[in-house]
Amino acid sequence: MRPKRISLTQHLIEENRRYGTVPEELRLLLEVVCRACKTIGNSVGKGALGNILGSNQTENVQGEVQKKLDVLSNEILLESNEWGGYLAAIASEEMETIHPISKTYPHGNYLLLFDPLDGSSNIDVNVSIGTIFSVLAMPEDKTDATEADFLQPGRRQIAAGYALYGPQTLLVLTTGRGTNGFTLDREMGSWVLTHPNMKIPENTSEYAVNTSNQRRWFAPVKRYFDEMQAGKQGPLGRDFNMRWVASMVTDMHRILTRGGIFMYPADERTVEAGGRIRLLYEANPMAMIVEQAGGAATNGLIPMLDVIPEKLHQRVPVFMGSKNEVERITRYHKETR
């Protein structure tokens, strides 16, 4: 007997029937975003054959050099989503300000945010990279979106997800009722539910952190790192392994699959900027996914989803993954205040 295959569309329709959380307009929006991710995945797969490797000789709003594929991915997501009638505006890590939907197209009640291609430093060396996205609702009684409309705490996200372009092309998605994973059937061109109700183990013996910044860390992070390094003989009583890809979406997928803690703390170099990870485009979507999978995510002091955004490209410290270890490092931060 052929095993039952549940498509992304079927999953979203059934979720709405059970919980009423995915109305048709939201479902159609998510389907468009996920189709755009398939297009990006195809471009990633072509590599040098598609003439998309290397620098674009431009900088984004953060002053970072853009890769050709950064720019292409941003364009694919914009062009795929602006005409559908589901959105009021779009915000991207690669754009200085928001992209209001043209008056040429009908407007919807949602706001879309995305990091079009996370892990850009890995593009040219064939390491997994991905797209991170989330959806917010437009404030009621408003028609024309402004930057202020995007400055909502992550707790108000309606949906969040990421696509991972690796040996398989994967999609991980939450609409507030658990976290589910889909694999792209490349022959059929469809997303198939393969990882239902994903759960992050509460305990872990793996961590992901850029240790090249160790000399700049503040006391709570140094304490926690030293305790992990001490292994079985230390206060944590077990050995830890480090895994670091330098692509948040890739490191977080590993943690979502088998546990771990991802840390990108503020340090002496980034503290004035607030941290390293973008709140709206990376930290908030991932925090929603992690919490819905039973994990935890904080900025070192409060849950990430409770942080009040102050600007479109705000950066924050990030600690997320297995619940017990995230709570430990958060406690260390609170003790040093």
Whether 26 is in a domain gets the answer yes
* Binding residue ranges for Mg(2+): 93, 115, 117-118, 282
Cα-based angle 182, 183, 185 (whole degrees, multiple of 5): 130
Domain tally, the chain: 2
The Cα-based distances of 145 to 23, 79, 136 in angstroms read: 21, 18, 12
Whether 92 is in a domain gets the answer yes
Give the pTM: 0.95
Same domain for 67 and 180? yes
Per-residue confidence band for 122, with pLDDT thresholds at 50, 70 and 90: confident
Same domain for 319 and 185? no
Q: What is the spatial distance between Cα 307 and Cα 175, in angstroms, rounded to a whole number? A: 20
* Binding residue ranges for substrate: 118-121, 210
Same domain for 46 and 191? yes
Whether 3 is in a domain gets the answer no
CB 211 within 8 A of CB 28: no
Same domain for 26 and 168? yes
Same domain for 128 and 272? no
pLDDT in tens, 137-165: 999 888 889 999 999 999 999 999 999 99
Which is nearest to 285 in space by CA: 252, 311, 255?
A: 252
How many CB atoms are located within 10 Å of the residue 112 CB?
A: 28
Residue 292 phi, psi dihedral angles, 5° rounding = -70, -15
Nearest-10 Cα torsion for 322, 242, 227, 268: -90
Whether 324 is in a domain gets the answer yes
Which is nearest to 253 in space by CA: 94, 154, 129?
A: 129
- Is the pLDDT at 315 greater than 60? The verdict is yes
Same domain for 236 and 141? no
Output the domain CATH number for residue 270. Answer: 3.40.190.80
For residue 295 the two structure tokens come to 């994990």
Same domain for 23 and 170? yes
pLDDT in tens, 59-114: 555 656 577 899 999 999 999 999 999 999 999 999 999 999 999 999 999 999 99
* Binding residue ranges: 93, 115, 117-121, 210, 282
Q: What is the spatial distance between Cα 133 and Cα 26, in angstroms, rounded to a whole number? A: 14
The mean pLDDT value for 12-38 works out to 97
Same domain for 211 and 176? no
Give me the domain span that covers residue 174: 8-195
110-118 and 129-137: which strand pairing? Answer: antiparallel
Same domain for 150 and 264? no
CB 37 within 8 A of CB 51: no
Q: What is the residue type of 30? A: L
Q: 27 CB contacts (<8 Å, ≥6 apart)?
A: 9, 12, 13, 16
